[in-house]
């Protein structure tokens, strides 16, 4: 009887040892995850990276997720992708990793401008949608990507899918406003831009696309009012100021255009469109000396603006302004080389 009792006690003791060990191990991993979470919340991204170096296999999925986010915060998107691919390999049917990979590849594309990364972003977003059709973020990410790249047909198609599956939303109306305006669907642009302005009155871009839709409609008076009002209401919007400046320049309102481009440069001193626009309007106002610095800046930022620089230089030659022509020619040569 005593022997049986001892055997029973021994059996339960043996069962209990692995349980305690397992509990201790889980507790240890939880503590490490909590530490990683705390470090990430404190924006100590480099410490998170160092702490998990060489320990991916033993780290929890949550810790690795913080690691991926840390690489993203450090703009090390290639490293972020490696972590996410590691997580995806463990659970290939987990839609969230495909979505996060899409975001990482999209950021890498913005950083490097390599088309292959944009293609990878699109592929991963679509895979996330395939696994979980009710998860909205990859749909809106693709819509924004198509709108930004002016992929008009794909953008309108994606917007239609979102409207059918999730209903109307401000982000959809904003993107449809842009897509229809750029593609010349006048009435659709006016309708969606009006809705977008009502949904998001603090976003200046919608006003610009609405104004352009009225220009396409040959209603210059309404377009002018929208441009003028938006320029006053959105002094810190580079897009609004440059777009209004372009309109004023096309109307030969050079002083007004110069004012718009100047406002845009206050927002972003490296705005290539604002530099070349200000250069051209100053040139038209008979101030080639002041315009020259903006032509040089525009050309430094983007060499495609050498065309506008050459036009101004040729005009100085044909009008006999030899002093300015020499300065422009020398600067043009430096920009070209």
Q: Which of 237-246, 267-276, 303-312 has the lowest mean pLDDT?
A: 303-312
Span 110-135, average pLDDT: 95
Say if residue 335's pLDDT is above 90. no
CA distance 144 to 140: 6
- Report pLDDT for 303: 81
Query: How many other β-carbons are positioned within 10 Å of the β-carbon of residue 325?
Result: 19
- Report pLDDT for 250: 96
Span 260-275, average pLDDT: 95
- Report pLDDT for 337: 61
C-alpha 119: how far from its chain's center?
Answer: 16
Candidates 201, 152, 199; CA nearest to 178 is 152
- Report pLDDT for 304: 82
Candidates 224, 260, 256; CA nearest to 242 is 260
- Report pLDDT for 23: 47
Residues 6+ apart with CB under 8 A from 225: none
Domain ranges of the chain: 234-337
CB-CB contact of 212 with 181 (8 Å): yes
Say if residue 292's pLDDT is above 70. yes
> Which secondary structure element, helix H or strand E, spans residue 179, and what is its range?
helix 170-182
Span 209-227, average pLDDT: 97
- Report pLDDT for 73: 95
Per-residue pLDDT band for 162 (boundaries 50, 70, 90) equals very high
Say if residue 68's pLDDT is above 70. yes
Q: Which of 28-42, 79-93, 172-186 has the lowest mean pLDDT?
A: 28-42
- Report pLDDT for 24: 47
Check residue 59 and report its DSSP letter.
Answer: S
CA distance 106 to 101: 8
Alpha helices in 91-136 (DSSP H): 95-112, 115-131
CA distance 300 to 315: 21
Q: Which of 15-29, 50-64, 73-87, 207-221 has the lowest mean pLDDT?
A: 15-29
> Domain spanning 234-337 has what CATH number?
1.25.40.10
Structure confidence by residue, pLDDT tens digits, 2-27:
555 554 444 444 455 454 444 444 55
- Report pLDDT for 27: 57
- The two structure tokens encoding residue 47: 């410490």
Say if residue 286's pLDDT is above 50. yes
- The two structure tokens encoding residue 335: 């920009």
Per-residue pLDDT band for 326 (boundaries 50, 70, 90) equals confident
Per-residue pLDDT band for 157 (boundaries 50, 70, 90) equals very high
Say if residue 211's pLDDT is above 50. yes
Measured CA distances, 263 to 236, 240, 278 (Å): 7, 10, 10
Say if residue 133's pLDDT is above 70. yes
């Amino acid at each position: 009887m005593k022997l049986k009792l001892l055997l029973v006690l021994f059996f339960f003791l043996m069962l209990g040892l692995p349980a305690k060990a397992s509990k201790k191990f889980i507790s240890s991993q939880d503590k490490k995850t909590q530490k990683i979470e705390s470090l990430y919340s404190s924006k100590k991204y480099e410490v998170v990276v160092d702490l998990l170096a060489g320990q991916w296999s033993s780290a929890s999925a949550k810790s690795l997720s913080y690691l991926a986010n840390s690489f993203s915060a450090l703009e090390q998107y290639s490293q972020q992708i490696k972590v996410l691919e590691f997580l995806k390999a463990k659970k290939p049917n987990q839609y969230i990793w495909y979505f996060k990979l899409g975001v990482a590849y999209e950021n890498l594309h913005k950083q490097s401008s390599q088309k292959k990364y944009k293609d990878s972003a699109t592929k991963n977003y679509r895979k996330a949608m395939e696994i979980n059709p009710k998860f909205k973020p990859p749909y809106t990410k693709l819509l924004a990507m198509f709108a930004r790249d002016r992929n008009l047909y794909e953008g309108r198609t994606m917007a239609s899918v979102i409207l059918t599956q999730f209903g109307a939303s401000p982000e959809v109306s904003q993107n449809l406003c842009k897509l229809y305006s750029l593609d010349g669907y006048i009435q659709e642009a006016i309708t969606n831009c009006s809705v977008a302005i009502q949904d998001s009155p603090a976003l200046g871009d919608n006003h610009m696309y609405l104004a352009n839709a009225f220009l396409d409609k040959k209603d210059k008076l309404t377009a002018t009012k929208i441009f003028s009002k938006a320029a006053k209401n959105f002094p810190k919007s580079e897009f609004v100021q440059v777009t209004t400046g372009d309109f004023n320049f096309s109307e030969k309102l050079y002083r007004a255009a110069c004012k718009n481009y100047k406002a845009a440069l206050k927002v972003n001193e490296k705005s290539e469109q604002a530099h070349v626009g200000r250069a051209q309007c100053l040139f038209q106002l008979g101030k080639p000396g002041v315009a020259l610095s903006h032509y040089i800046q525009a050309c430094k930022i983007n060499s495609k603006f050498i065309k506008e620089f050459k036009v101004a230089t040729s005009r100085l030659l044909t009008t006999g302004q030899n002093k300015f022509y020499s300065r422009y020619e020398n600067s043009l040569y430096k920009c070209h080389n």
